[in-house]
A and B are shown apart, each in its own frame.
Chain A
């Protein structure tokens, strides 16, 4: 199946600093990528939809200025957690859909990255 890769896998940072997480589709192009956040023992919560060449669409309650999303190419989306605080510590996961399958018989299978664990001290 298609591969989505995230980097870094884990990161520790000091409170007040910014952290950038990359999401890449390795063998397909993705006009749309999705960013999720998962706290311990909880389910995945969708944060935002990243659209190539345009602004991201954020879910209700997610701060746009705090979680900056850039989707500059068909294979890369980045999530930057600005002025991180301990409550931002979480598991961040991205997913992407292969545009090559758009309109075809596939019904929108999404591929997920391995996740990035952020710890803010």
Chain B
């Protein structure tokens, strides 16, 4: 699976949009981009995933660049409860048993 690079930490004011970047320059054609988050002392929570088109759900939006070498997770109106470590993961859907390999992630701190 392709390796990802994320900033170690980010701050965001409550109510503002949080934009979390991820670089995955070695992504291959059949690999998806997944985002999970982990609130302290809890299991990871699925947020969103995509292949090449931008995606949106009730939690967030995922913007993938045309060359697919980077992506941005957008939390449109961050709240204090969005404070968590956000993991960007790329992987194919075949082989490997669908296991996910976690990097170090981005610690997002949402403040008043």
Contact = CB atoms under 8 A, between A and B. Distances in A.
Interface of A: 1, 4, 6, 32, 34, 36, 43-46, 49, 57, 91, 93, 95, 97, 107-115, 117
Interface of B: prevailing SS: loop
A46 B99 contact: yes
A93 B101 contact: no
Size class of B's contact patch? Answer: 20 to 34
A44 B41 CA distance: 12
B21 interface: no
A88 B104 CA distance: 21
B49 A109 contact: yes
A49 B97 contact: yes
Contact of A115 (B43, B99, B103, B105): B43
Interface in B71-112: 87, 93, 97-105
Contacts of A108: 93, 98
Contact of A112 (B44, B101, B104): B44
A115 B39 CA distance: 12
A46 B51 CA distance: 24
Contact of A114 (B32, B42, B49): B42
Contact of B41 (A1, A109, A112, A117): A117
Given A43-B104, A107-B32, A108-B93, A113 B98 contact: no
Nearest to A115: B43
A71 B104 CA distance: 29
Contacts of A34: 97, 99-100
